[in-house]
Structure 1
Amino acid sequence: MKQKQSVSSRVVLTAMLVVAALAPAAGVLAQDTQEPAATPAPTLVPEPTPIPAAEILGRAAAIGKILRDATSRTEFDDELTLIGEDFENEKEHISELEEETGRRLAIEGPASVIEEIEKAWVRSGARLDEWLKTLSSGVASIDKEQAKLDEEAALWELTRSAEGETELPPAVLQRIDETLDAIATSKKGMHTTRDAMLTLQSKIGKEKAHVDEIVATQREEIANRRRGIMGIDSPPIWKMLSVPGVDGGPSEQLTAVWSKNFASVRDYVVEQQASVRRHVVLLVMTIAGLIFLRRKAALWAQQDKSLKTTVRVLDRPVAAAFVITLVLGGLIHPHAPSAWKDFLGLILLFALLRILPQMLPRTLLPGAYLIALLYFLDRVVKLAPDGNLVNRLALLLLSVVGAGVCVWFLRTIDRLGSAVPERWRRAIIFFTRLAFVAFVIGVLANIIGSVAFATLITLGMLGSVFLAVLFWVAAVLLRAVVRVVLLTRIARKFGVVRLHADTVRRVLFRVITASAVVAWVVFSLQDFDILDATIAQVLKVFEFEISIGDFSIVVDDILIFFLVIWLSLKISQLLRFVLDTDVLPRMDLPRGVPGAITRLTHYVIIVAGVVIAATAAGLDFSKLTLIVGALGVGIGFGLQNVVNNFVSGLILLFERPVRVGDKVQVGQLSGTVKNIGMRASIVGTWEGAEVIVPNANLISSEVVNWTLSDDRRRMEIPAGVAYGTDPTRVIELFIGLARDHPDVLDDPEPKAIFTGFGASSLDFELRAWTTGDFVAVASDLRVGINRALADAGIEIPFPQQDLHLRTVDDEAGVALAHSERERDLTDSGEQPAISGSDGAEDDEET
């Protein structure tokens, strides 16, 4: 590594960052001293020139084709005629809505009396908005074409006026005049169409303002009625039992309401054909997809027994498709009338009755039919006129049956044991008890005459129960679909799924569960008519402002800031995960480049997230530049090491002198680079420890990178043989052994060198290259050398030394002499003397 070049790069990059940080502050400080900038000179537009004589006829033919196309183009006129006819029909519809609105506003009753007609007004306003957008687009298109024709007319007028200079023949002049007349005729027709569009746009805009005014009035009346919903609005129910009906019998009333709802559904289908068509297409595609997944799951379940539950859940693909697509009905039909929603609810009921027996344990199977009974009573309540005796009796029966179902469910769930997780078990029991209380309150409110409140709390709780069952079923179905989809061949092609299938499945399951819970809460609040009020209260909390002197901050600014930062972190985490596991491995990139790409992506997303968060929070960057510039110097001194390491990390990112996976040596530290972070890198040593190394050390210090340009590494294995061995034979033996090893490279080829004459051996050294684990390969070669020398009868000597004694003390001398005499006697075959006298004589002689 070239240290000088790396240090210079770091210095240059640091200087660039310092200049970039101080530039805004310098600019702010210099604003008072700079001269005002001069007004830029206007861009000169070249003057048009007459058409050359040689191009006049060709240009006339081209403009003639354009004019014929513009004259024969009838989409503007057709569109104008169609919108005009629809607008006349819509005006009649608006007149009918006005009459119905006046009648409903005169009726004393709950807010639901007005909500239905308010939805019709919203749909009417949406149609008017669509026509206004279409007309605006048409007028803009005509203006654009007229501007082009104006330019052409000016050019042809200029050419006509220059006729005296060019002396054009009469035929050409006549062609010019014909072209000018055609342009004028076309402009006149466009002008007429444009005026008609603007006139119709004005009428529609006036009607739209009228519709908006009526909608605002209705919403105000709805809010007023909701505020007084706790009062008594009807006589007690026992008094109504003795009052004869005045509007005909119950059958006639139900028939009238049924006919009215049928007409509402029919009109909505006619009005919203495109939305209904999209819903049907989505349903058909979902049915086909679920049938395919069911067959796949049944096939795989023969090998994987854990899929049996999934197969059972998907055993009713048509009913499951209805549940999944009808759950999305609120998104496809946001302003649908209640009759349309009741129609979809009826279809959902039959679909749920087909699916629930496949999901519920046998103990809870009666619950599916109890839900059907509650839904039937709910329809009776909604079909009967508000305040009618049939309506109140059906509402009373619905509340009583609902309370009874809650009691039955509380007793039944205790027998399920561990089939339900404890956390969900506690939540279900709490919600069931809450529903029981609500139904009892509904009974009491209905009896004493607070019909609006009884209707709201009973139907709201019942709707919440329906939604809980519906979203639970939809969540179970989607979880089953996800589990099977992740096993398909198409999904397994993605590395994210193939390598981390369990993680992906867990994340998707959590998303499905969280989405179901959030949707249930939102729609339940809507059923209780408190969604708008809840949102208003939450927004009021978010708009709370904290002021300290001249400094003020709003709560929602803080929440938005941290929310955007959190989202940027999650997006960065997800994107890096996808890049590392699925995208970058498919690309042929040099080692280290994928890691640089993911880290750069992380930095970009984080910086963008901080900027977006600051902008969304309302921070004024122009006021912060001076402060940031002033604090830059102090921060630079205080965080010099941190900045130095961060800049070094950027150098490592772009120059890549050290990459993840490289085998490096920094001073006394050796190991493999595991991660390169913003401030420090992690090096795993050969002993298994993880050492945190500041990035600046990898730039300013000498770093030995064994794998910078390639993975090759030379092994040097010394060995010694006994004197008298043929050196040529040893060299051939070593080279042959290295060539036979599969992990030793042929280029560069292995070499064996006779390094010299040792004290007790002839010294040799085997040099070979490898790209694998050089420690293991070197060990294999040492073992092979030992075995080969042994097989060849070549001795590996051990060190030998001669010891010369100059002086010896008396005791050591006696011991040495005695040992020497014993050895001599042993060599001559005599036995050494045992007696003390003999020993004394021997000692004397010695």
Structure 2
Amino acid sequence: MNYLLHNPRSKLIFLTSLVLVFQVLSQQVLKGQDNQPRDSLLAKVKAIPMAEVSVQATSINSLLVEKRNMLLTGTQRARIDHLVDSVLARYDVIMEDPRQKRFDKINAREIENLKNEWGNVSARLQELQGGLTSRVETFENEKALLQIPLRQWNLTLEQARQDNAIRNVLEQISSTIDAIEQVFAALNENSDFLQDDLVKISEKLISSNEIILTLESMLDESVIQRFRFDKPVIWKDSLYVRDTLAESVYFKANMPAIKAFVTDNSRKLQEHLVLFILITLVLVILFRRLQKNVAKKDEEYVLRTRVLMTKPFSAALMITFTYTLIHYDNIPQVIRSLNAILILVPMTLLIAHNIHQAVRKYLYLLMVFVLLTLFHDITYKEDLFNRLVMLLVCSGSFVSVIWMLRDRSIRELASETFFRRLLYNLLYVVGLMMGIAIVTNIFGGVYMTEYFGVSTLYSIVTAVLAYSFILVIDGILIMIIYSKGISSLTVIKNFGPTVEKRLAGVVALAGWTIWVLAVMREFRILDEIFSWFKRVFVAPITIGSTQISLLNIILFIFIIWLTITISRIIRFFLEGDVFTRLKLKKGVPGAISLILRITIITIGFLIAIAAAGVQMDKLAILLGAFGVGIGFGLQNIFNNLISGIILAFERPINEGDIIEVGALMGIVKEIGIRSSIIKTYDGSEVIVPNGNLISEQLINWTLSDQRRRGEVRVGVAYGTDPQRVLDLLLEAAGSNERVLDDPKPWAIFLGFGESSLDFRLLFWIAEADTRLTIQSEVAVMVNQMIRKAGIEIPFPQRDLHLRSADAKILDRIHAVDESISKKTGQQFPKAGMQGKGKEES
């Protein structure tokens, strides 16, 4: 709050938001008045006048036709029954799964797979429940709406019978009531039909959610068991060697999960295929454009876009298969493993040509170990073979880390940048994790081996994947920024490297943030981190009767910062590219920019208030109390804010104008919300409150015209022909190309001065900011032409009377006078004595 009170930009936010808040509150009050209970509406229904029965009957029949079109057709009913039966059949299949009947005997991997399958069923049930519920709500609303006309027509029938209406009118009213009741009954029947299915779905959904909770609790227990040595040491474990024929058993065990995944996501798979085709086409087009433009670009450009130039198809595959992880819900473990293999191949091809040669061989070793781990995941079984595979993977990774740490080329490469030194130091952590995995595997901690070894390995691969994505996206951004259309923008021409650097920083931050989250999820600490985050940042802090959380405060500050940043970016883009291409009146671009900034900041402030959890009624009270304080303590600040709005609409001054306020004169550099910046001619930048620009007398030398008048004053000796001097002055002004011909230069004889005949030369200049330069050039030309014409520019003369002086001084004065007389022919009077023994001069 202190920041808002002392930040000039935020003062305007408080003022405008005050108006908007009261508007919203008034709309909510009006809305509350309009929402009358339906019972009161029914009570106010009156019978239809007999003269309007025919017209109203036609109108209600048209309405009933629309209602009938909303009813379920036989095809739609059959389709709904099929969807419900298929989901319930899937529920029954999983309930009959053998794993479902022996929870206590299945391992953590099988529990995870079973949980994912139940998650898919639960998602299908929820989706179907949501669709049916929406249709039921529609039917119920239509039934409620029909109660009003039904009530009205029943009253009309009673009134017609009392008035002894003719038979045709009574029949028309009765038929209309029958039609309404038929549609009402049909809506009721459709609603009952859907509600029967909803009951079945709800029962199964409750059951499936209970099973999922049970499986999650078992997984939590298995996480605790990961840190137990519950297996015998490796040399005492029963030897079991898998033959090649038996391997098919493990693949067959995963087939139901694969088939169920394909069946449940058939539509998403089609969408995924279309997405892959589109991504491939886009990257191939980019690849061809890069090939055409590569000869025109420098070597650095080629280096930064090398990812797209080398393997566009591999980049498309990597993006498509990575999208699988977020496109589908509750992916089975076998699908995850197969998808990881499909990601590894294009990622390796893509990254191998874009990393240092010293690291490339270790990348290939990493991919081999990851493939072995994925093979272990697909054919998972708790036996000695599994332990030996994991021992091989962890031992190989440990040895590879030791080689990298001892490799001189790796050490030299790591010393170049801070980021590389950080990665090099992380190798010690990786080696430690692999060493723990080896020891735990040998001494019976199989689950700990997976936790420390496999999770670390997957984290490294995820980092490589994140780096690959950053390279691909950076290449695409660079290609777009320096493409023919975008590179022609003024912003890109002037600040292209800066824009590229900022975008690359955002991409890198997003990529590595996602990687950190993926690592925390892989080590199964993401939920604990989020729980801690909720306890610390989401927990309410009570201050009196108000509750607020740290997250609300952070969101408020972040949204305010983001709003100001967005307003600056939009202003930068508008002033750099949009306004320069549009023919607008002077000052209009600045006014549009200022108003847009005010609007964006106001909207952002209101969003920040909502994100902070401030209720509307409390906000209105707060603003009301704050308004009283504004009236006393902040009136000058708000005066300046309102003055800024007036400047934006009336535009008495614009950016670039030459103005004079009091003793201050300079060029307007910026018109802000609270104050404006004026740069004086001596280079200083003066911040002037907008209130001063409105209340004080202001001279704008360039409001409607950039032309400015210049002048040169000169005096010549007595005896000179004035007309000759006037002609010389006009000739001097006309000799300068930057002096305008219209209005024409004007020379005038001012009069007789004490020592000279005084003249004034007036002329006009096209651009006001060049007035001093051109005025100086004209003055120099006037001096040259007057001297060339032999006209003397006199200096001021004074008569000096000496009452007494030394004889030697008088002799020197006489000598100077005689010397001047010989050169110029001018005679000086003899110096005489005033009084005895004195001369007068």
TM-score tier (shorter): 0.7 to 0.9
Distance 1:765 1:48, change over 3 A: farther
What stretches of structure 1 of length at least 5 have no aligned partner? 1-12, 28-36, 829-846
* CA-CA distance at 1:405 after TM superposition: 2.2
Shift of 1:540: 2.0
Residue 836 of structure 2 is matched in structure 1 by none
Seq. identity, %: 28
Q: Distance in 2 between matches of 1:718 and 1:372?
A: 88
RMSD: 4.1
Residue 122 to residue 50, structure 1, CA distance change in 2 (3 Å): farther
Cα separation, 2, equivalents of 1:461 and 1:628: 54
Contact 2:712 2:761 in 1 (8 A): yes
Using a 3 Å threshold, how does the CA distance of structure 1 residues 749 and 811 change in structure 2: closer, same or farther? closer
**CA–CA distance in 2 between the matches of 1:480 and 1:804?**
87
The structure whose RCO (Cα within 8 Å, separation 6+) is larger is 1
**Partner AA of 2:525 in structure 1:** I
Give the equivalent residue in structure 2 for 1:832: none
Say how many residue pairs are matched: 792
Write the distance in 2 (CA, Å) between the matches of 1:310 and 1:139.
Answer: 57
Alpha-carbon shift at residue 653 of structure 1 (Å): 4.0
- Paired residue type of 2:294: A
Aligned to 2:287: 294
- The 1-side partners of 2:625 and 2:146 are apart by 58
CA distance in 2, matches of 1:198, 1:617: 40
Q: Spell out, residue by residue over 1:136-164, the C-alpha distance to the aligned partner (whole angstroms, 9 max, x if none).
A: 22223334544565556566666766767
Separation (CA, whole Å) in 2 of partners of 1:554 and 1:159: 59
**Deviation by residue 1:103-128 (Cα, 9 ceiling, x = unmatched):** 46222533x33122112222211111
| One-letter identity of the residue aligned with 2:280 | I
Aligned to 1:322: 317
Query: 1:76, 1:138 within 8 Å by CA — same for their partners in 2?
Result: no
Is the contact made by 2:47 and 2:159 (CA closer than 8 Å) also made in structure 1? no
What is the match of residue 102 of structure 1? 100
**Kept in 1: contact 2:117–2:257 (CA 8 A):** no
Moved more, 352-361 or 774-783: 774-783
5 Å-filtered alignment, 1:389-408, equals 389-408=384-403
1:438 lines up with 2:433 in the alignment? yes
Give the secondary-structure state (helix, strand or coil) at the position aligned to 1:688.
coil
The residue that corresponds to 2:29 in the other structure is none
1:672-730 Cα offsets, whole Å, 9 max, x none, are 12233454432211111222333343333332221233323222233456667766666
Q: Is the 2:745–2:761 contact (alpha carbons within 8 Å) kept by the matching residues of 1?
A: no
| 1:460-539 pair list within 5 angstroms | 460-492=455-487, 494-539=489-534
Work out which of the residue numbers 117, 124, 128 in structure 2 matches 1:131.
128
2:303 is equivalent to residue 304 of structure 1: no
1:650-665 matches, cutoff 5 A: 650-665=645-660
| Alignment counterpart, residue 424 of structure 2, candidates 422, 425, 429 | 429
1:717 matched to 2:709? no
One of 65, 85, 88 as aligned partner of 1:88:
85
Q: CA deviation at 1:737?
A: 6.3
> What's the counterpart of residue 838 of structure 2?
none
Offset from partner CA, 1:349-370 (integer Å, 9 cap, x none)? 2202321232122222223421
Match of 2:554 in 1: 559
Q: CA deviation at 1:77?
A: 4.5
Counterpart CA distance in 2 for 1:648 and 1:579 is: 23
Deviation at 1:523, TM superposition (A): 0.9
Distance 1:823 1:545 in 2: 100
Judge conservation of contact 2:541–2:548 (CA < 8 Å) in 1. Answer: yes
Q: Secondary structure at the match of 1:235?
A: coil
State the match for 1:686 in structure 2: 681
- CA–CA distance in structure 2, aligned partners of residues 256 and 813 of structure 1: 135
Q: Residue 91 of structure 2 contacts residue 204 of structure 2 at CA under 8 Å; is this kept in 1?
A: no
1:219 paired residue number: 216
Worse overlay, 41-50 or 425-434: 41-50
Q: 1:336 to 1:664 in 2, by over 3 A?
A: same
* Structure 1 residues 487 and 52, CA gap change in structure 2 (3 angstroms): farther
Maintained 8 Å contact 1:672/1:683 = yes
1:313 maps to: 307
Partners of 2:818 and 2:148 lie apart in 1 by 133
Provide the C-alpha distance between the structure 2 equivalents of 1:680 and 1:638, rounded to a whole number of angstroms: 18
Residue in structure 2 matched with residue 834 of structure 1 by the alignment: none
Partner of 1:278: 271
SS of the equivalent of 2:244 reads helix
How far the C-alpha of 1:196 sits from its partner, in A, is 0.3
Map of 1:579-728 to 2, 5 A cutoff?
Answer: 579-619=574-614, 641-720=636-715
Match among 188, 196, 199 for residue 199 of structure 1: 196
8 Å contact 1:720–1:797 — kept in the other structure? yes
d(CA) in 2 for partners of 1:744, 1:823: 41
Secondary structure of the residue aligned to 1:106 is helix
* Corresponding position of 2:250: 257
Q: TM-score, normalised by structure 2?
A: 0.83
Aligned counterparts, 1:790-809, within 5 A: 793=789, 795=791, 797-799=793-795, 801=797, 803=799, 807=803, 809=805
Note the alpha carbon deviations across 1:235-288, whole angstroms, 9 max, x for none.
Answer: 22222244x57xxx4435531222333442333122112322232222222211
- Name the SS for the 2:381 alignment partner: coil
Indicate the residue corresponding to 2:570 in structure 1.
575
Inter-partner Cα distance in structure 2 for 1:735 and 1:335: 91
How far apart, in 2, do the equivalents of 1:99 and 1:396 lie?
36
How far apart are the structure 2 equivalents of 1:418 and 1:428? 11
**3-state DSSP class of the match of 1:84?**
helix
Pair 81,548 (structure 1): closer, same or farther in 2 beyond 3 Å: closer
**1:800 to 1:574, Cα distance in 2 relative to 1, 3 A:** closer
1: CA distance between counterparts of 2:176 and 2:737? 86
SS of equivalent residue, structure 2 residue 665: strand
> Structure 1 residue 268 and structure 2 residue 267: aligned?
no
- Trace 1:24-423 onto structure 2 (pairs within 5 A): 47=46, 49-50=48-49, 52=51, 56=55, 60=58, 71=68, 77-100=74-97, 101-103=99-101, 105-107=103-105, 109-110=107-108, 112-146=109-143, 181-242=178-239, 249-305=242-298, 306-314=300-308, 315-412=310-407, 414-415=409-410, 417-418=412-413, 421-423=416-418
Asked if structure 2 preserves the Cα contact closer than 8 Å seen for 1:378 and 1:459, the reply is yes
Compute the displacement of 1:88 (Å): 1.6
For 1:731 and 1:217, the matched residues in 2 are separated by 107
Q: Which has the larger displacement, 470-479 or 88-97?
A: 88-97
User: Is 1:811 the counterpart of 2:804 in the alignment?
Assistant: no
Distance 1:285 1:361 in 2: 31
Q: Which residue of 2 aligns with 1:31?
A: none
Q: 1:769 to 1:253 in 2, by over 3 A?
A: same
**Matched residue SS, 2:107:** coil
Does the aligned pair in 2 maintain the 1:649–1:677 contact within 8 Å? Answer: yes
**Quick one: structure 1 residues 550 and 487, their matched pair in 2 at CA, closer, same or farther if it must change by over 3 Å?**
closer
Q: CA deviation at 1:761?
A: 3.2
CA distance in 1, matches of 2:533, 2:504: 28
Aligned CA distance change for structure 1 residues 813 and 133 (closer, same or farther; 3 Å): same
TM-score, normalised to structure 1's length?
0.82
Match of 1:760 among 749, 756, 761: 756
Partner letter of residue 756 of structure 2? S
Which one of 771, 775, 783 corresponds to residue 778 of structure 1? 775
Q: CA deviation at 1:344?
A: 1.8
Q: Deviation per CA, 1:416-455: give whole Å up to 9, x if none.
A: 7358742111221122221111111111111111111212
* Cα separation, 1, equivalents of 2:451 and 2:819: 121
Partner-residue secondary structure (3-state), 1:591: coil
Unaligned runs of 5+ in 2: 1-10, 26-32, 826-841
